[in-house]
Amino acid sequence: MVDLRSTRDAGSLTQRVYALQPVRSRAVRVALWAGVCACSVALGAAAMGWYATQRAALPAPCASAPVSADGVQAELERTRLALAQESTARAAVQKAADASAAEVGRLNTELLFLRGQSQKRR
C-alpha cells in the first residue's frame, strides 16, 4: 500500500522557498576584500622600491673615452673592408641565384618537352 504520510512530507518540502545564505557576514567579506587590496598595494610598492634600487645600482653609461685619430682611422678602414667583403659576398650569391634560375628554366622547358613526347606515345 501507499504511505500517504510520506507523500505529504515530500510535497511540503518541494513547495518551500529556498535561498542561498552567505556563510560570512557582509562586513567580514568587505574586510577581506580591503585586506586583499591593501596587500596588493603593499606588494606593488615593495616591487617598485626594489626596482628603483636595482635601477639606481646600475652603473651609469660609460662616458666617451678620448679616442685618438689613429684609432678612428683604423676603425674606419676595418668598416670599409667589411663593407667590401659583404658586397662581394652578395654579388657572388646573386650570381649563383641567377645561374640556378636559368638552370630551373632550362629544366622546366625540357620537362615540358618530355611530357609532351610521353603523351604523344599513348
| Residue in 10, 68, 79 with CA at minimum distance from that of residue 2 | 10
- Judge if 50 and 78 occupy the same domain: no
Assess whether 86 and 118 both reside in one domain: yes
- One domain, residues 49 and 84: no
Q: pLDDT: is 80 or 21 the higher one?
A: 80
Whether the CA torsion 47, 48, 54, 57 is positive or negative: it is: negative
Does a structural domain hold residue 65?
Answer: no
Domain that holds residue 119: 74-122
R_g of the chain, CA atoms, integer Å: 42
Is 6 among the domain residues?
Answer: no
Q: Do 109 and 82 share a structural domain?
A: yes
* Residue 10 maps to a domain: no
pLDDT digits (tens, 9 = 90+) for 11-62: 666 777 777 777 888 899 999 999 999 999 999 999 999 998 888 776 666 6
What gap in Å lies between CA 58 and CA 46, rounded to an integer? 19
In a domain, 69, yes or no: no
How far the first Cα of the chain sits from its last, in Å, is 91
Determine, yes or no, domain membership for 101: yes
E strands, the chain, in order: none
User: Does residue 66 sit within a domain?
Assistant: no
82 and 119 in a single domain? The answer is yes
Q: Is residue 35 part of a domain?
A: yes
Encode pLDDT of 93-121 as tens digits.
999 999 999 999 999 999 999 998 888 77
In-domain check, residue 94? yes
> Does 113 lie in the same domain as 86?
yes
**Number of compact structural domains in the chain:** 2
- The pLDDT, as a whole number, for residue 22 is 73
pLDDT over threshold 60, residue 6: no
Q: For residues 51 and 94, state if they share a domain.
A: no
